[in-house]
Amino acid sequence: MWGFSGRFILLLCLIGTATLASAHTLEVHVGNATFTVNVPDQELKATDADLTTYVHHGATAVITYFGRFPMDHVNINIRAVGGDSVRFGRTTPVNGGTITMLIGRDATAAVLNDDWTLTHEMTHLAFPATKEDNREWLGEGMATYVEPVARAQAGFLTPEYVWNEFYDEMPKGEPQAGDEGLDNTDTWGRTYWGGALFCLVADVEIRRATGNKKGLEDAFRAIMNDKGTIEYEWPIKIIFEEGDRATGTRVLEDLYAAWKDKPVAVDLDKLWSELGVRKSGDSVVFDSKAPLAAVRAAITSKRVQK
């Protein structure tokens, strides 16, 4: 996302080795949005059709979760790098919204279909930058949480895949020794998975408080629809106030007050049990009789856009 960080330095290094060959342009239309995709000529194994599908899947997931795409036009600049994977993504508010993607020359259609990076970057477009320093955890945590949920809601991932990922990865967001709360601990784990853990707990608590009638997506949709996109900077206090008004709760404000400057640990074993998520081999199985089984199902349920 926006901001000068280690990720930005890495991007500069990688772009330095990326091919800056002549490019051709694809125009991809998804929902209300048009994507201008700049593709390096004869540098990628992935075809124009593969790249079009890649963009279409990411945009469809974002539209499914947020109700619409946050802006009418987005530039996507693809750089070819070594390897057969998607190496990196970066989103900035330049020209309303610009995404730079570093894609391996040998990446195939299957690799793109399995990749999460572009959807993650697209979610950044739908959320405001924070005015305060040391708040990167909110934007990155939002994108880390929303990306797999949105892809499941759009039918691109199974609920089992999403909850297995959360089961395995959410512990990385728990506070470690010396932690001083989300606002004051800028480690990789707390920034990405600590922020995602905040979003997961908020989603569950909003649904618990509203009888599963509303979720975190209602808060995020309201923020986006009130010009809360990457083009704007909001104080974090206003972000949470706006989100809470949309759900008729104080979940975001109260959770932030508790987590911002103190190392609050989440009892994940209890949370998984209440949601009905149990590890089984390399995946998970669901308990439909668990107290919050309906909440778990609602978070990743497939939605069809009308």
- Strand runs labelled E in the chain: 23-30, 33-40, 73-81, 86-92, 98-104, 129-130, 233-234, 277-280, 283-286
What token pair was written down for 103? 């894609």
Domain boundaries, the chain: 6-125, 129-300
pLDDT in the model for residue 21:
56
The C-alpha atoms of residue 58 and residue 118 are separated, in whole angstroms, by 6
pLDDT at 19: 47
- Please report the pLDDT score of residue 135 as a whole number: 83
182's enclosing H/E stretch is none
Phi, psi torsion values for 26, nearest 5 degrees: -110, 145
How far, in Å, CA of 189 to CA of 192, rounded?
A: 6
Report the C-alpha gap between 208 and 214 in whole angstroms: 9
pLDDT value at position 304?
65
pTM of the model: 0.92
Q: Look up residue 165 and give its amino acid.
A: E
Q: What is the pLDDT of residue 207?
A: 98
Give the pLDDT of residue 13: 46
Q: What percent of the chain has pLDDT over 90?
A: 88
Q: Looking at residue 131, what is its pLDDT?
A: 84
Q: Which of 179, 190, 169 is nearest to 268 (CA)?
A: 169
Q: Is the pLDDT of residue 17 over 50?
A: no
| pLDDT, tens digit, 9 for 90 and up, residues 168-223 | 999 999 999 999 999 999 999 999 999 999 999 999 999 999 999 999 999 999 99
Q: Above 60 in pLDDT, residue 4?
A: no
5 pLDDT more than 80? no
What single DSSP character describes residue 128?
A: P
Query: Angle at which helices 117-125 and 48-66 pack, to 10 degrees?
Result: 50
